[in-house]
Structure 1
Amino acid sequence: MNMMHNTFAARLLAALLGGLAVGSAQAAIPIQHWTQPEGPGQGAQVWLIESPAVPMVDVRLEFDGGGRRDPADRAGLAEAGTLMMGKGVRAAGGELSAAGPPQGAKAPLGGSAVRAATSVGANNNAALDENALGEAWADLGAMFGGDDTTDRVSFSLRSLTDPDLLQRAAALAARVLAEPSWPEAVWTRERERMQAALRESLTRPATVASRAYQRAVFGAHPYGQAMTDESLSHISLADMQAWHGRTFLACRAKVSIVGAVNRAQAQELTAQLLARLPRSRDPKDCPSLPAVPEVSPLDKSADLRIPFDAAQAQVFIGQPGFKRDDPDYFALTVGNYILGGGGFVSRLTEEVREKRGLSYSVYSYFNPGLHAGSFSIGLQTRPDQAEAALKVAREVLARFLIQGPTEAELKAAKANLIGGFALRIDSNRKLIDNLANIAAHDLPLDYLDSWTEQVNKVTVADIRAAFARKLRADRMVTVVLGGK
């Protein structure tokens, strides 16, 4: 690669890392959506926001392969597999070659498939270890990496839209997605590192309390399981390969794109990114994954006290909450802002911190997902104040569930949420996060345009009814670690 071209690309990309403003937050944000047609990547679902002001593109590729699908005795498999996918690519057998793309593939952006196939190193099918792979990304001035959550696995690409750079970045990303080399020595090293980090984390009171709380709220559901030293020891490279094979099918991909590309270019970019993944013969027949059970509601309260020698006691109160696509979402979001999500203007902060000085920070939040996530109240306090702080937090919650907010509280919450909405979408990086959220939960395409309207429609009665449907004060889990 020409060194001057490489230096220019890297500097420009670094200057734009945070993304630039996408224009007035009040303007409409048109979202395009389609199913990738026959050919490479067929069956993938694609969402696009065109943002032509800056010559960059952000892509998020997501697959249903997160931690909730980990076998109980191999908790951490998705995390380990995602990590190891970035540790090298094997020598490929010709899915893409100098002869051109697979049958049915379109040429990549701004040039031929031949150039894209041969531009990373002397041979685009050559093996690359973790160091060579890192150098290849540095040479391109692009970024690509994986992440895993409980619900899904995602890979993010950020690149300039210069045709030559983007072709090569997409070709390299396609290899990482489809052709990890699974080096055994690297996994041995990484497993030891993960186990050491896990053991260190379990010396911290917040980690111990949080893990106990998750188990108590979710029970046997996968949302409640956590990686352990033992589960890591059970994970083999064969487990990762099997996980990869069942997860990474082109028809299962949800692809979110924000940047200086139009629909035709985005379709071609998607095809190139997914070209090496297996695809179903019939685009309407994508093999389904086994169903994951729903979270069971609690049938009684639970109170767990954990001895721990720490300067601060950790307190959690909560229960299962709701799924992200629940119609009560906006009422619960606005209501929780008033209860404990609004920082210094919330009821919990007023009663626990300001009036009584029992905690520096106290909060509440819903954490919805593909299944019912948790509703949680959390705080830290001196061990000798834990019982007093717990009593006040419970009283605030019980009163809120019965009475709901006041009209004045609701008006202030709406003003803060609506006034801050522009900061949620003021860069391409934030837009891609929002777009991926829409894709993951099949939210309406006008979700961002109608967000402030939906918030503004919420009434006191809506909040009271939504909280009554979701929460039971007499069926809460309480975890206190380090109290007296």
Structure 2
Amino acid sequence: MKRLIAAAFALLVAQTALAGVKIEHWVSPSGAHVYFVESRVLPMLDIQVDFAAGSAFDPPGKSGLAALTRATLDNGAGKLDETAIAEQLADIGANLGGSADTDRAGVSLRTLSARDKRDPALDILRSVLHAPHFDAAVFEREKARTIAGLKEAMTRPDSIAGKAFWAALYPDHPYGRQATPESVSTLSRDDMAAFHARYYNATNASITLVGDLSRQEAETIAESITAGLPKGQVAAQPAPPELPKGGQIKLAHPASQAHVYIGLPAIERGNPDFFPLLVGNYTLGGGGFVSRLMKEVRDKRGYAYSVYSYFAPMRQTGPFQIGLQTKRSQAGDAIKVSREILADFLKNGPSEEELAAAKANLIGSFPLRLDSNKKILDNVATIGFFDLPLDYLDQYQAKVQAVTAEDVKQAFARRVRPENLITVTVAAD
């Protein structure tokens, strides 16, 4: 019987994913954009509240402020200190989380949908968003923890390479700013409170709800979340980044393995080139052991255990990146082969067989991206925050299928210009 129930549940989840996701959207009276997916499969509710409050909005000279604000947000709020918040969440079986990246910062809540569990969980979420304590002792603790983490990261070649790579790709843009022990050490509690007051407002918010709710309940919950926030303004975006002048940056390090990153700013969210780039990159370096980079750099020559490429679209122009690790003495050869493979792909694109294999994998694996409420939440929150079409998930497979080899060649020619490629190496001879 248990196996039958499990099989039936798996089938139901799969059918739900294949049938697409119905996204309802409205603007709350407080000014927040709200996205809702009703799902009665489980008695659960998932909520994510995102703000345009990522590291791109750190004031000059205060890199790390966005991340520190988010890290301190749920460590005491309203009438509860951080211990009380943790205990009450544990008592009702709810989970409060969230993160901050370059473009956005947010808070997420997962709770049972029964009113006796849902209501106290929502009370905690509202307190965290509306009235964080930003307790001085907690602030100093999180600040010290952040500084220690940054100092430790400065000893690791992968972290050193990553920071140098982003700084080189975006030398005159907020995307290239990096938190350092020095920048974080200058931050004050007043800085954090001011950042929260500026960016954590209703107009700057995107709210996503997925789960066991009616539309009316979703409207009520969304408005209760934003009604306690200042109305505020949408965060102003910086000017788009310019393409950097290509070149190579070599950083010394005693590690036995060299870390190599090659790339450039390439594409923003919602750009129509995304699907040709997605399909093409599967062949180039996104398809694991079937990709050209893996076959040529690892399998044929043994230069690296792993080599990959990907596009990371962001609010503004996000990067294209090739990454690998190799022996110090082989770094130059590995870079040469990787650049040759990229050049050949730019010139000739994928074969028809490679194109068909890429489409089959991307289309066939797509339902796995929607086989849980959490995954649906992640996808819909991304659609909402980045202003993608509401039928984005419904059209995903058809857009992948429609890509031609010529589409791939043209999109790569527009987005990946060899003369603008930056190569960063750490610990290479």
Give the TM-score of the pair, scaled to structure 2: 0.95
Alignment match, 1:240: 192
CA shift for structure 1 position 277: 1.1
Pairing of 1:309-388 with structure 2 (within 5 A): 309-388=254-333
Counterpart code for 1:292: P
Alignment match, 1:483: 428
1:318–1:478 Cα contact (<8 Å) kept: yes
Q: SS of the residue aligned with 2:322?
A: strand
Q: Give the Cα separation in 2 of the matches to 1:387 and 1:251.
A: 50
Counterpart code for 1:290: A
2:127 to 131, 155, 175: 175
* Higher alpha-carbon Rg: 1
1:212 to 164, 183, 191: 164
Does the alignment pair 1:289 with 2:241?
no
Q: Give the Cα separation in 2 of the matches to 1:163 and 1:43.
A: 26
Q: Give the Cα separation in 2 of the matches to 1:28 and 1:196.
A: 45
Query: What whole-Å deviation, never above 9, does each CA across 1:12-32 have from its counterpart, x for those lacking one?
Result: xxxxxxxx9363432132111
CA shift for structure 1 position 166: 1.0
Query: What whole-Å deviation, never above 9, does each CA across 1:392-430 have from its counterpart, x for those lacking one?
Result: 000001111111111111001001111111111111111
2:24–2:35 Cα contact (<8 Å) kept: yes
Alignment match, 1:6: none
2:130–2:228 Cα contact (<8 Å) kept: yes
Size of the aligned set, in residue pairs, is: 418
Does the alignment pair 1:143 with 2:84?
no
Q: SS of the residue aligned with 1:251?
A: coil
2:204–2:235 Cα contact (<8 Å) kept: no
Pairing of 1:1-80 with structure 2 (within 5 A): 21=13, 23-37=15-29, 42-80=30-68
Alignment match, 1:407: 352
Counterpart code for 1:252: N
2:62–2:183 Cα contact (<8 Å) kept: yes
2:105 to 153, 165, 178: 153
Pairing of 1:177-216 with structure 2 (within 5 A): 177-216=129-168
Q: Give the Cα separation in 2 of the matches to 1:271 and 1:165.
A: 19
Pairing of 1:243-254 with structure 2 (within 5 A): 243-254=195-206
Q: SS of the residue aligned with 1:25?
A: helix
2:14–2:367 Cα contact (<8 Å) kept: no
Q: Give the Cα separation in 1 of the matches to 2:138 and 2:20.
A: 47
1:426 to 371, 384, 387: 371
Counterpart code for 2:219: Q
Q: Relative to structure 1, is the Cα distance of residues 22 and 431 closer, same or farther in structure 2, using a 3 angstrom cutoff?
A: farther
Alignment match, 1:305: 250
CA shift for structure 1 position 295: 1.1
2:203–2:234 Cα contact (<8 Å) kept: no
Q: SS of the residue aligned with 1:73?
A: coil
Q: Give the Cα separation in 1 of the matches to 2:234 and 2:77.
A: 27
Structure with bigger helix share is: 2
Counterpart code for 2:197: G
Counterpart code for 2:427: G
Q: Relative to structure 1, is the Cα distance of residues 23 and 259 closer, same or farther in structure 2, using a 3 angstrom cutoff?
A: farther
1:163 to 115, 118, 123: 115
Q: Give the Cα separation in 2 of the matches to 1:179 and 1:292.
A: 29
1:338–1:405 Cα contact (<8 Å) kept: yes
Alignment match, 1:465: 410
Give the TM-score of the pair, scaled to structure 1: 0.84
Provide structure 2 residue ranges, at least 5 long, that are not aligned to the other structure.
1-11
Superposed CA RMSD in Å reads: 1.3
Q: SS of the residue aligned with 2:31?
A: coil
Q: Give the Cα separation in 2 of the matches to 1:263 and 1:220.
A: 44
Does the alignment pair 1:417 with 2:405?
no
Q: Give the Cα separation in 1 of the matches to 2:68 and 2:189.
A: 9
1:22–1:428 Cα contact (<8 Å) kept: no
